[in-house]
Amino acid sequence: MSTLGQSNLQTSHIQWTDYTWNPWLGCVRMSAGCDFCYMHRMMQGQNSSVVTKNTGGFNKPFGIQGSQKIFTCSMSDFFIDQADAWRLDAWKIIKSTPQHTYLILTKRVGRIKNHLPPDWGIHGYPNVILGTSIEDQSVINRMVTLSKLKTVDSKFKLFLSIEPLLGPVDLIANKTLEDAFKLMDWVIVGGESGDAPIGTPGYTFYYRPCDLAWIDKIIADCKLQNIPFFLKQVGNHLANKYQLKDKKGGDISEWDPRYQIRMWP
Ligand code: SF4
Q: Give dist(CA 179, CA 221) in Å, integer.
A: 13
pLDDT band, very low/low/confident/very high, at 14 (cuts 50, 70, 90): confident
Torsion angle of the four alpha carbons 97, 98, 99, 102, in this order, in degrees rounded to the nearest 10: 90
| Ligand 1 touching residue 192 (CB < 6 A) | no
β-strand 24-25 against 52-53: which pairing, if any? antiparallel
CA 1 to chain CA centroid, Å, is 21
| Ligand 1 touching residue 43 (CB < 6 A) | no
φ, ψ for residue 109, nearest 5 deg: -65, -30
Percentage of the residues of the chain whose pLDDT score is greater than 90: 90
Q: Give dist(CA 134, CA 142) in Å, integer.
A: 7
| Ligand 1 touching residue 39 (CB < 6 A) | yes
**Model pLDDT, residue 11:** 62
Percentage of the residues of the chain whose pLDDT score is greater than 70: 96
| Ligand 1 touching residue 27 (CB < 6 A) | yes
Ligand 1 centroid to residue 27 C-alpha, Å = 6
pLDDT band, very low/low/confident/very high, at 45 (cuts 50, 70, 90): confident
Q: Give dist(CA 18, CA 122) in Å, integer.
A: 28
Ligand 1 centroid to residue 257 C-alpha, Å = 31
pLDDT band, very low/low/confident/very high, at 3 (cuts 50, 70, 90): very low
Q: Give dist(CA 82, CA 115) in Å, integer.
A: 12
Q: State the average pLDDT over residues 26-40.
A: 96
**Model pLDDT, residue 226:** 97
Q: Which of 22, 37, 44, 48 to mutate to test the pocket of ligand 1 (most atoms within 8 A of CB)?
A: 37
Which residue is closest in CA terms to ligand 1's atom 4? 27
Which residue is closest in CA terms to ligand 1's atom 7? 34
pLDDT band, very low/low/confident/very high, at 152 (cuts 50, 70, 90): confident
Q: Which of 21, 22, 77 to mutate to test the pocket of ligand 1 (most atoms within 8 A of CB)?
A: 77
Q: State the average pLDDT over residues 44-54.
A: 94
**Model pLDDT, residue 173:** 98
pLDDT band, very low/low/confident/very high, at 12 (cuts 50, 70, 90): confident
Q: Per-residue pLDDT for 13 more than 80? A: no
**Model pLDDT, residue 29:** 97
Residue pLDDT, tens place only, 105-146: 999 999 999 999 999 999 999 999 999 999 999 999 999 999
| Ligand 1 touching residue 42 (CB < 6 A) | no
- Write down the pTM of the prediction: 0.94
| Ligand 1 touching residue 34 (CB < 6 A) | yes
Q: Per-residue pLDDT for 8 more than 70? A: no
Ligand 1 centroid to residue 39 C-alpha, Å = 7
Q: Give dist(CA 51, CA 173) in Å, integer.
A: 36
Q: Per-residue pLDDT for 4 more than 80? A: no
| Ligand 1 touching residue 76 (CB < 6 A) | yes
Ligand 1 centroid to residue 194 C-alpha, Å = 14
**Of the candidates 190, 220, 189, which has an alpha carbon nearest to the alpha carbon of residue 207?**
190
Residues ≥6 apart with Cβ < 8 Å to 79: 87, 106, 108, 109, 111, 112, 115
Residue pLDDT, tens place only, 183-238: 999 999 999 999 999 999 999 899 999 999 999 999 999 999 999 999 999 999 99
